[in-house]
Structure 1
C-alpha cells in the first residue's frame, strides 16, 4: 500500500520527536550524531561493517521524495539508524547509550500515532549488521542458520565537536577509527572482524563557559590505566600529517647548487665554545625512518644530504631545502624535548634558517649571543618595552598589546612548508635556551614596512610560559605539559618559526584531541589552565577562555574543534620541576606566589593585587630574595660547556622568607663595610655566568674553586677507653639525678661524692696533687 498524506505527516512528526530528544539531566541533544551519514571517502571501513548505513535526515529526504511504498519501510530505515550504532559501538560508550534511548523513543512515538501500522517484527531486519554478520559467521562455521545477534564490536561512529556541522557524506569526519580487539565476552564463533572505534563524550565543549576541573570531583581527575587506553585508542586512529606544504621554500638563484654544500658543511661543522660539534645530535639518528608520526618514510641522514649536495643531484633549491627541513623534523622527533641534544638540533635549525634568510650572519665561524634567534631575551628574562628602565638594564623586547606600526597585516604567512594563520600555535626560537622553544599563539600575521626588513613576513605572537619559567611555591603541582598564558606579545620574523604545535585549554583537553589542521599526531601538545603575571607572580585560573584567543576567532565554530574521548581524561599531575634531581633549567624558581580565580576580589577590595611599592622599582641587593635572581639555566650556547644562564628577577611586593646569606651580610653588614665597599647591581650580561641555588634562588658565590683534598679521618679510641668514658659519664649522671632530690647537699659535698665514684683520676688531677704535696714539704 502507499503512504497517505496523514501517515507521511505522522512519520515526519516521529522524526521531529527524535531530533528534539534530549538527555534528562544535562539537556543535551541526543540526535546530533545521527543526523547525517559518515564521510564514505575517509571512513570506508564503516561501510564495510555496516551493510545498510542510514541517518535521520536521509530517511526524511527519502520520505519527502516518495521513495517509500509503505510506512513500515520508513520504520525499518529509522530502526537501522540506531541498530547500526548499537552494533558499531561498545556498550560502555555514550553513543551506544544514546542509540538505545532513541530506539526506545522511536518505538514509543510510532505507537502513539494510530494512523501508522505497528511493526510485528521482534528481531533486527534482515539487512541489519546484526543479521548479516551473524549469518556470515554461521556460514563460515557451518552451524545452524539461526543464531543470536553477536555482541557489539568495539567501534564507534565518528563524532562531531561543538560548533561543527554534523558530519556529512562529503564533509569532514568527526572522529577517527581505531583498531580495537573484540570485547572479552564476545563469542569467537559469531564475532565479525572489528574495524576501528572511537566514541563521543557525554558533553560537548565550547571555548567559554565550561565546567572547571576542580568542580568535577577528585575521583574524576584520577589518571589510571583505563584512561591511558582511552587516549591510545583515539590516537591510533587519528589522521596522519601529510607533511610540509609547497610554499615558503628557498627561491631559485643562479649558482645556488654550490650553496647547498656550504649550508650542509655549516651545519655539520658548527661548534660550541670548547670545540664540540652540535651536529653529533643529528648524526646519532639512524638512517632508516623508524620514528612514529613522521611525514615521510624514506631513509634520511645528514650524510645522505651531504652526498647529494656534493653530487648536485637535487632538482631545485626547493628540493634541497625541503629535505633539510625533513631532516630537522626527524631529529626533533628522535631526541627528548628539553634535552641538550634536542636543544642542539633546534639551534642548528635556527642557524640554517638564519643562513638562508635575507640577512645571513657573518662567518664562518658563526657566533651569536642569542643562539641565532631574532630577540635578545626569551620568556622569564624579557621585559615589556614600556616598563623597562635604564637602571634595571634588562632586555626590553615584548609589549602588552599588538602593534600596528610599520607593517601591513595579512591573512597568512608561509615559511618552509608551514602555512601560519591567525590563532595558530607555534614553537619559536628561544634566545635563552634552544631546548625550550617559546610556546606562542599567533595574534597577527604581517609584512614588515620597516626599511631594514621591507617586505619580509613575520608574526605577532602571545607567549605562554612553562612551569620552569615561573616563580611558584615548592608544593605547587602542574598538569602534564601545562603552560601559562601571559600578557607578553612579541614580533617574530618567520625565521624564528621552529614548527607547528597546539595548545588546548583544560576544558577541551580533558575531552579530546584537536582536529587537523590544528594538530596532528607527533606534534607537541600543551594544556593551559591559568594565566601568569610574571611581575606580580600571580596565577589566575581562567574561566573565560574567549578572552585568551584572538578576537577574530572567539565566536568561530571552526576554532580548534576536537576528536572526543569516550569519557573525560585528565592529564597527569607533577610537582615543581625545580624539585627534581635533574635540576631543570629555567628562569623561574621556588618562591611565593598568589593563586586566584578570575574576578576574585582580594586585598584592597579590587580584583588585582595591592602593591607596596612602584612596579619595577630597583630593589635592595642585601637579601637573597631581592635584586637579581639567577636561574639554573643552559649555557648561552648549549653544549658540553657547563655554564649557567642568569635571568632577572620579577619585581614583586611578596618577598621570599629565606635565610639571608648574601655577601653583604656575610661580611658583617653595610654598617661594618662603611665606605670601603662599592656595591653595584649585576647586569644580566655579567650574571649570565653564575649559578643559583634551586631551593632559594640565591646567586651562588664562592671565594675560590672547590678543593679536591682528602678529609682527615676522625680519631679512633679503644673499646677499653670508651667503656671507661661511658662509666664515668654514667656515674656523673647518677650523682646529678640523686642530687636533685636532696636539697640538703651542698655543692662541695656533691663534688666530693662525684670524685669518690670516679674510676680513676685524670693526669691533671695527679699533677695538681703532686704540686700541692711538694709545696707543703
Structure 2
C-alpha cells in the first residue's frame, strides 16, 4: 500500500469508528447495530427483491483500507442510508436511525475529508438501478429533485390504494424494531367492504409512550447529561455507560458488591421498575459511589464521577422544581395505570385478553395489554397488540395451521376498556411443545409460533418470545410442567382455501384482506398460489418436501399419529416407571429389591459381620462396611438429583483418589457438592458414639488459602484433639518434613554465624 493510501485509510478508519459512537437522539441507544449486517434472507426475502445493492457496516469494514478514494467510502455509507430509508416506513425507528447516520455523513464525514484536501461530495440518493450510489454532487450543494413521473389514469387509481398503507412501523419480536416494506406491488388492491384507509386511520405500529410525571423527570435528567462534558472534555457519561469487562477487571466484582451502570439503569427505566424518583437517584448514587470506591482520587474515572454528580444534581433539582402540570398536555391528558377493573375482573399490563370484534362476535380479537391509561374525563383506555387468527391473514393456499393457532401482528390498537370481554392465554409454541402450563387458565388458550407482517404478508418464526412481550413483564416466566414426550401436532388446511380464484396461477399478485369495521381485524383474509418451497423445514406448507417429525399433515397416514418424540429424560423415566410397575405386579421378598444386580457386585456374605471400634487416625481412611444379606442392590426409581439436600457427599479430593486420577487433586477447582456416597448396608445406631457436625472446611483443600490463618486459633476446630470422637475433623496440611528440616538447618547455620 502506498503512503498516500495508508494516510487515507487511517482517516477513513477514524470516521468509520465514530459511527459506532452515534446514539439515537430520542432513546440514547447506539444505532450501529441496525446497520451492522444486512437483514436475514430467510426472514426478509422481499428485502433483496426491493434493494438492489445490500450493504452493511461489516462490508465497509472489510473494504475501507482498499478504497481508491474517500468518495467510495461515502457512497457505501450513503447506500446504507438509502437502503434503510427505502425499505422502512417514514417515522419508524430504523428510518430515524438512517437519518441520523445521514446527518453524520453530511455534517461530519464530508466536511472533515474536505478540510483534509480530498475532493468529495454527497451521492445522489435517487432510485438505484446499477451497483453504484448515483452521481456525486459537490459538498454544500443540494442534489436536484427527481422529476415527477407521468401517471396514467390506471396508475392513479392504483396509487389511491397504495397510499392507504402509510402508517407507523412494527416493533421487532427479535429486538427493538423490525424492517418493513415501505413499497407496494404494482397491481391494484381493491377490497370489498370498507377501504384500507379506514383501517389505517386507527393503525398504530407501536404502543404509545405514556409516562407519569416522575418518569418524565427521570428521562429528562438523563437526557440533560447526554451531551455534557467533564473537565477533560470527555462525555461525562463515557465511563459509566457499561460495567467493566469481567475478563479485564475481575477484581472490580470482588470489591464492588452491587455493580450497576447506566445500561442497567436505562433498562430499569424502560421496564418501569422505578416507582418514584428516589429509587432512580439511589441507583445513580450507587453507580457513582462504586466508581469512587474502586478508583483512586486522582484517576480520570474518579474525577468524572465528581463532574457527573455535580451535573446530575443540577439536572434533577431542576426537574423536581417543575410542577406536574408542566409534564401533562392539557389537550390529551393521559394518566397511566398499571391495572384496571372491568365487570369485576382485574386486568394488568401483560395480561392476555379477548376484545370484542365488531366483524364477528363469535371470534373476539386475541390481544395482549401493553398500556392502560385514564383520560381527564375518567375514560379508561387500553393499548393492545393484536394476535390474528388464520382466517384474518393473507397466506399461501397450501399453508397449514395448528388448532387455535394465532399470529403476532404489528398492530398495536387503542380500545375503550369496555371492549374487553375476558381473559385468555397465548402459549409460545416451543414451550407448549415440551410442557403444559402449570397454572389455572382463566380463559381459552391459543398457540403462537409465527409473527405476521401485514405489509408484505410474510410469516416469520419467532425466535425470542420475551421480545414479543411488554417491557414490564419480560422478566416474568410462565411456569410449565415438563412432558416426558414432545407433543405431536396435527395441522389443518387453510380455512380460506375456497377463496382461491379459479384462474389462479403461480405468479398471481398477492391479494389484500377484506376490511369491515375500522378498528378491528380484517373481516377475512385471502389466499394465493405459489410453487413448492424447497427451503421450508418448519412444516408450514402441505407440499413441502421435508417436515418435522412432530407435525402430522392432513394427508399423512394414520400410523404417523403413533409417533413419540422423546425428550432427553424420556427413556430414563420410562425405564424407571416400568421397573416400578414390575415391582407392583410381583412383589419381591422383604429386604430384596426387584431391580437388576450391577455386573460387578461382590458376592453376598451369608452372615452379618460384627463391626468393631477401632482407633481412627487423623485422616479419611476407607471405611469398613458390612455387605448386604441379599445379592441385590436397590436403585431409586426416581432421580433424586433435584432433591438431595442433606445427603452425604464425598469431597472432591477423596473423589479424585477414588477414581485413581491424582492430577485432579492438583488441578481441579473447588466444588461445593461431590458425588453421593452410597452404603451397601443399613445404618447402625451406636449409642456410645458422639459425632459432631461436619465442618465446612474440607480436609484436603484445593483452593488457595491465606498462610496467616494457619497461625490463628480457631475454636471451631478444637474437637480435632478430642479423643474417641470417631472423626478426623478439620486438619490443615502443613509444611513437609523435608521443608521443616531445611528451615531448621538454616536457622542453625544463622545461629552459628552469629556466634
Query: Normalising by structure 2, what TM-score?
Result: 0.26
Query: Normalising by structure 1, what TM-score?
Result: 0.25
Point out which structure has higher relative CO (alpha carbons under 8 A, 6+ apart): 1
